[in-house]
Structure 1
């Protein structure tokens, strides 16, 4: 007995036609999918890569703990690759203009990220802008000059270098070893400051418009004793107990804790570059 479909075709023939139609539709969809452009995940931005490197290196580290050499190199490598364009900064922005040609210009800080383990931010200095001599207690600091030229002078406490054992630490001026005293011009590799070495105390003087990307691990925290202290150079004398201290030709100066200069103006502003995704 021949059974026909309601359309008049035998069922086997109708099933063959339907199966053929399904195959043709599958082939058409496959061809369309192959021809369509593939949607790729957007590559991570430079600041996102920096954040992820800092999170992996600093998270879990105790106060004053120096990251392992591999961790330091990872963060430094990411910073070395970052440019002003990556954070959407140019020297023509208002942050870098001198409003008063005779007064001391204000410094602008752009906050990118901060947690208990580390912070990321950018200091914007107009020409002749100064960040006075200050310290970074128990902190490892990465500084990348994005553009411009600046004079940098940095120190480490002499006692921490174990090259002046006869110097007794006491209240008042302390002897410090000059680590760097010169002009840095971008592009330049990232500088690394350690809790006891590398120029933990430093001051910046902009020779022209400058931007400095800083990573602090851990960040300043008054409650944990990591508060920013400022210093004045009392004297460049290098005589202790009547004898001159010049091991290896190194320079020493006396530093005394002080209040920041009254003409030091540091203001915050909104960072307008690519955002950091904390997920």
Structure 2
């Protein structure tokens, strides 16, 4: 069979011998580099870090309500695995109830002058005494275990004028905000410089891990040191006749707080963070 004649008289080979030419795909070498991989999704702790970096603006600032909602939503979804923890770890299976004041371990994921990301590990029966967070907004997420939280706010920002302090100024009136048990998983709690339970106490009912976001973090140089307190029931103090004792105080859960030195039996031990890292890029 002879060749067919195509357009403009160009000979075309017989159908049986025709070949289909397929354009070759460019190789990695031909494209001038390695084959591009799909971008990895940021880890849970990386998303949290990026949100904190956008929200916290440094000392003297408080996140806006919409920013608080953003961070709270991210923290509510955080799992122990997001920071390298698991309920199968020996620490969370331990049930040593004999020791009354076990050491508390803490690890820092990230810290800057604007905020810090810290995990607290409380063995069963461990207590972080009543203490404050001056000038800070603090987000606390219970990742594992269960604990009791008791927290207060000052009853009046200016106790000298309102009668919210004792005559010798050793006691100052505070209002109870939280006094309850919490078990993971549970919602994130938020405290502010003057509201939400700025002074609080943690007691571990079972071994627990708490993810704390502090904005800004403690700083002795910037007058944000930790102060410890002891609480005295309002009814047990003999102060009477103050302006705060009246109809406007009915129904309020009040107590007197007194500054104390850091308890000698409080043992806080830092350890290296071993979970997923955060990138500042």
User: Common fold, TM-score beyond 0.5?
Assistant: yes
TM-superposed CA distance for 1:38, in Å, is 6.7
Q: Distance in 2 between matches of 1:224 and 1:257?
A: 20
1:156 alignment partner, one of 153, 158, 161? 153
Contact 1:95 1:125 (8 Å CA) reproduced: no
2:89 aligned with 1:116: no
Aligned 1:235-250 pairs, distance under 5 A: 235-237=233-235, 240-242=239-241, 244=245, 247-250=249-252
What is the root-mean-square deviation in Å for CA atoms of aligned residues? Answer: 2.9
2:211 alignment partner, one of 187, 207, 213? 213
TM-superposed CA distance for 1:259, in Å, is 1.3
Contact 1:108 1:267 (8 Å CA) reproduced: yes
Residue-pair matches, total: 251
Contact 1:91 1:210 (8 Å CA) reproduced: no
Q: Deviations over 1:148-172 (max 9, x none)?
A: 111000000111399x934257731
Q: Deviations over 1:19-41 (max 9, x none)?
A: xxxx957x2215999xxx97211
TM-superposed CA distance for 1:94, in Å, is 5.4
Contact 1:134 1:203 (8 Å CA) reproduced: yes
Q: Which runs of 4+ in 1 moved over 6 A?
A: none
Give the corresponding residue for 2:263: 261
* Other structure's SS at 1:199 match: coil
Aligned 1:55-134 pairs, distance under 5 A: 55-58=53-56, 61-93=57-89, 95-96=91-92, 97=94, 101-134=98-131
2:178 alignment partner, one of 174, 177, 180? 180
Q: Distance in 1 between matches of 2:165 and 2:172?
A: 9
Aligned 1:41-52 pairs, distance under 5 A: 41-52=39-50
Q: Distance in 2 between matches of 1:165 and 1:65?
A: 27
Give the corresponding residue for 1:9: none
- In proportion to residue count, which structure has more helix? 1
Q: Distance in 2 between matches of 1:274 and 1:75?
A: 19
TM-superposed CA distance for 1:103, in Å, is 3.7
Structure 1 unaligned residues grouped into runs of 5+:
1-12, 14-22
Q: Distance in 2 between matches of 1:199 and 1:176?
A: 10
Residue 167 to residue 160, structure 1, CA distance change in 2 (3 Å): same
Q: Distance in 2 between matches of 1:38 and 1:55?
A: 29
TM-superposed CA distance for 1:213, in Å, is 0.2
Mean alpha-carbon deviation: is it higher for 74-83 or for 191-200? 74-83
* Other structure's SS at 1:136 match: coil
Q: Distance in 1 between matches of 2:216 and 2:40?
A: 30
Q: Distance in 2 between matches of 1:111 and 1:105?
A: 20
Q: Distance in 2 between matches of 1:165 and 1:272?
A: 49
Contact 1:167 1:240 (8 Å CA) reproduced: no
Structure 2 unaligned residues grouped into runs of 5+:
1-9, 11-19
Q: Under a length normalisation based on structure 1, what TM-score does the superposition of the two structures give? A: 0.81
Q: Under a length normalisation based on structure 2, what TM-score does the superposition of the two structures give? A: 0.80
Q: Deviations over 1:202-228 (max 9, x none)?
A: 000000011100000000000100001
Q: Deviations over 1:181-200 (max 9, x none)?
A: 01011111110000000000
